[in-house]
Amino acid sequence: MSRITLQTAETVNPEAKARLETAQKNNGFLPNLIAVLANAPTALETYQEVGAINGRTSLTGGEREVVQLTAASVNGCGFCQAGHTALSVKKKLLDDDAIKASRQLGELADARLNALAEFTRAVMANKGNVSDEELAAFFAAGYNEQQALEVVLGVSLATLCNYANNLARSEINPELQAYA
């Protein structure tokens, strides 16, 4: 049971109604994250707008999912782990081993993706103040300054989602249970 009201198209603030309905249409169901964020129309707007911006970064879809899965795991957000696992599987962005390693904060077989996961964890653990060695290792894996900042962007998006879900303690939707 969610500690924060799960809004519906019938109960939501009119300011958030179109965003909630669009999310429901696009997903085929209303993710509980959206239902929670709809309590604060600006939070829902931020999530959707920053999510769209994050989707335009120079990181590949799979790389963005490594950031999201890593952040969800660090932040203990089972809902986001399930949601990003579902997305990664359905869009074939990551293989099963990469998903599992990201969720378990383990080592990814792909050295470049592993460097990305390690850098994401370092950004989170140090609130962006990574060591020179951590930044150098990220660059040595083939990433650049733009992508370092795009990891920060991805972490910021994940933080909104992970913290909102952790605050609400809402259940994982049935449509995502298989990915939990």
Q: What is the pLDDT of residues 114-146, one digit of tens each?
A: 999 999 999 999 999 999 999 999 999 999 999
Q: Is 108 left (phi over 0), alpha (psi -120 to 50) or beta?
A: beta
Per-residue DSSP letters for 7-60?
A: --TTTS-HHHHHHHHHHHHHHSS--HHHHHHTTSHHHHHHHHHHHHHHTTSSS-
Long-range Cβ contacts of 110-118 (<8 Å, 24+ apart): 111/141, 112/141, 112/142, 112/143, 113/62, 113/63, 113/66, 114/141, 115/140, 115/141, 115/143, 116/59, 116/63, 116/66, 116/67, 116/141, 116/143, 116/151, 117/66, 117/70
How much is the pLDDT for 141?
A: 98
Residue whose pair of structure tokens reads 């969720």 in the numeric block: 103
How much is the pLDDT for 160?
A: 98
**pTM listed for this prediction:** 0.97
How much is the pLDDT for 1?
A: 87
How much is the pLDDT for 13?
A: 96
Name the nearest CA neighbour of 94 among 81, 84, 79, 104.
84
